[in-house]
Chains A and B, each alone.
Chain A
Amino acid sequence: MSAEVVQSRREWLLSERPASRMQARLGRAYVAWRRFSANRLAFIGLLIILALVVVAAFAGVLAPYSPTVGDLKNARLLAPGAAHWFGTDDLGRDIYSRIVYGSRWTLYVVILVAVIAAPIGLLVGTVAGYAGGWTDAILMRITDIFLAFPKLVLALAFVAALGPGIENAVLAIAITSWPPYARIARAETLTVRNSDYIKAVQLMGASPFRIVLRHIMPLCISSLIIRVTLDMAGIILTAAGLGFLGLGAQPPLPEWGAMIASGRRFILDQWWVAAAPGAAILIVSLGFNLLGDGLRDALDPRSGDQ
């Protein structure tokens, strides 16, 4: 591709007078991407998350051993070496393979929590913001009450009542993590509810339900995505904490938090059993934090230098 073609494409993307909606949209995306990829740390974050997705997708290919069945006779608590990169645990299972398969559970938790909590917050926030009055006051009071609770302790109590298990852990985390989304969605709704286009839709006879769903919610999505990405690290840490306390994933699932818990018994002699899964958690949540920071800076230039 010659330099001139690149130059003209750039100009087309950055044009001040886009000829079509498509061009405007692509241009905006291009500017956001330029700002995002100029941020080296954010780019590293993106790479970490992509790597997580790839590892989870191809776990079967990447893991040399079974994640659940070990060689009890010959391979108990081996130190890291050529055959077992990160060593083996007390049941003779290869820790590297378990971490590779564990990436699936991390993604599972993160995606499910986002899918449950974000729509709840979106619904509460947009309805409160659009309806106003008593509905707003009551919904926001409930939101603030939940916002004031200690998240981890409440999630603990929920899982204690629901019974241990990864699904219940997901549910408990989702129940405790929707309030910030509701606040964001409400703030976005308040900025658009009195705008001309909403008035226009109202005049055309759209029901409040349709206005909230089709004309307000889509505008809240981008700030919500940033916030969800920033929260991912916290979600992973909470899930790992629940797993560590034996309330999340149950054995023999290769969940990282539960793996640290089982390695705790040998921590003074065979430290690698607990060290490797913890490092995996650290890297992945670091990735989400870097990505979230970068997304915020790219999509919201106001907070750029804070």
Chain B
Amino acid sequence: MSVAENQAAAGRGSARAVAILSSLGRFLVIAVTTYLGLLAVTFFIGRVIPIDPVLAVLGDRAPTAVVERTRREMGLDLPWIEQFYIYVKNAIHGDFGTSVLTTNPVMTDIRRAFPATIELATLGTLIGAVIGVPLGVLAAVRRGSLIDQIVRIIGLIGYSVPIFWLGLLGLVLFYAKLQWVAFPARLDVVYEYTFTPITGFYLLDAAMQGQWDVFYDAYRHIILPASLLGYFSLAYISRMTRSFMLNEMAQEYIVAARAKGLSEALIIWGHALRNAAVPMVTVIALSYASLLEGSVLTETVFSWPGIGLYITNSLQNADMNAVLGGTIVIGSVFIGINLLSDLLYRLLDPRTKVG
């Protein structure tokens, strides 16, 4: 290799490094400002909207001395920028204050409720992806056929139906009438006290301990809410898959593959779907994030003891620390998944590489 070529290669290398660093820097700026934005909004909701946060905590009958002391303890006599600094520092350490309802630190409650939400949303996304992707592919391949129409209708209803209402109807049909599933809870009362969870994901815990009766019971409880969330995820995933596949099937490499004489199945599943895989990862990640959010209503309907139910229970008792703590946690995970899927998209798709 000549000196000139070497230099050119080094130049390309360093340009590439600069490009990667600058896109990493951009990513960090976006991540930090988005999280600060989330905290700023919850700070605003908790401290600015209530006319007097002290009264919101103590009630209006507290003596003046107590009010003054609490004001100082809450740091409300400080300038608001300093208050926000303390707020951010506490939030980063996972300190969201104490729940009035349970008298625990909010973070303790959330840590207990979090696995339930994750278990539900994960199973929901799995159902949605496993059924939604093939449906979307079929709809794109047989465009205008019966299956395309069905996918379209599934999508339209999924975008239009109130999730909590569908959940209630599901309970009437599958629990009360057909008795295919168990009542709204995570486990039967019998197992509630004898079963010791390890990770908090009951299906996994039961399988790890070989307690198959518990596993079956947990399955009977989770399957209806998970299928419900799965339906919403399916509606979104199948529609997006269809659109990505239509896009890929119109490309020239498909014509080339046909000209080579590849089988239609190999063209669809081996070539087109593989090229659509990168945006699909993003779509599935986004759908997972939206299921975390959708869990608020679903968990309320199915008495599922996750973060969603925790937030709604706290709402009913005006327990603002708990509400805002739950909001920050769900918001953080939501934002995190959004950012990660964006990053993943850049890493996986060679076309989006800079330079």
Contact = CB atoms under 8 A, between A and B. Distances in A.
Contact of B176 (A247, A268, A290): A268
A161 B169 CA distance: 31
Nearest to A283: B160
Interface string A79-108: 000000000000000000000000000000
B133 to A, nearest CB: 18
A55 to B, nearest CB: 18
A279 B172 CA distance: 15
B45 A158 contact: yes
Interface string A141-158: 110111011111110111
Contacts of B330: 150, 153
Contact of B323 (A160, A268, A275, A288): A160
Given A157-B327, A233-B160, A260 B293 contact: no
A120 to B, nearest CB: 15
B116 interface: no
B310 to A, nearest CB: 12
Contact of A144 (B34, B296, B334): B34
Chain B interface residue number, banded: 35 or more
A145 B346 CA distance: 20
Contacts of A275: 165, 169
A240 B331 contact: no
Contacts of B64: none
B37 interface: yes
Contacts of A267: 168, 171-172
A285 B165 CA distance: 14
B296 A306 contact: no
Given A149-B331, A161-B45, A241 B34 contact: no
A100 B70 CA distance: 50
A286 interface: yes
A87 to B, nearest CB: 15
A257 interface: yes
Interface string A96-129: 0000000000000000000000000000000000
A121 to B, nearest CB: 17
B45 A157 contact: yes
Contacts of B338: 148
A165 interface: no
Interface string A228-255: 0000011001001100111100000000
A177 to B, nearest CB: 14
A271 B327 CA distance: 32
A260 B156 CA distance: 22
Nearest to B46: A161
Interface stretch (B99-107, B271-279, B312-320): B312-320
Given A146-B37, A148-B34, A267-B172, A289 B315 contact: no
Given A260-B164, A278-B165, A271 B297 contact: no
B160 A285 contact: yes
Interface in A247-283: 247, 257, 260, 263-264, 267-268, 271, 274-275, 278, 281-282
A131 interface: no
B161 A149 contact: no
Nearest to A290: B156
A162 interface: yes
Interface in B269-328: 289-290, 292-294, 296-297, 300-301, 311-312, 315-316, 318, 320, 323-324, 326-327
Contacts of B164: 241, 244, 260
B52 to A, nearest CB: 13
A241 B41 CA distance: 21
A278 B105 CA distance: 37
Contacts of A149: 37-38, 41, 331, 334-335
B33 interface: yes
A263 B169 CA distance: 11
A306 B300 contact: no
B243 interface: yes
Contact of A154 (B172, B294, B327): B327
Contacts of B172: 267-268, 271
Contact of B33 (A141, A153, A306): A141
B176 A282 contact: no
B197 interface: no
Contact of A282 (B41, B160, B316, B327): B160
Nearest to A306: B243
B24 interface: no
Contacts of B176: 268
Q: Most chain-A CB neighbours within 10 Å: which of B41, B164, B171, B327?
A: B164
B86 to A, nearest CB: 19
A161 B46 CA distance: 7
Nearest 9 CB-CB pairs, A to B? A278-B165, A145-B37, A285-B160, A150-B293, A286-B160, A161-B49, A150-B334, A157-B327, A161-B45
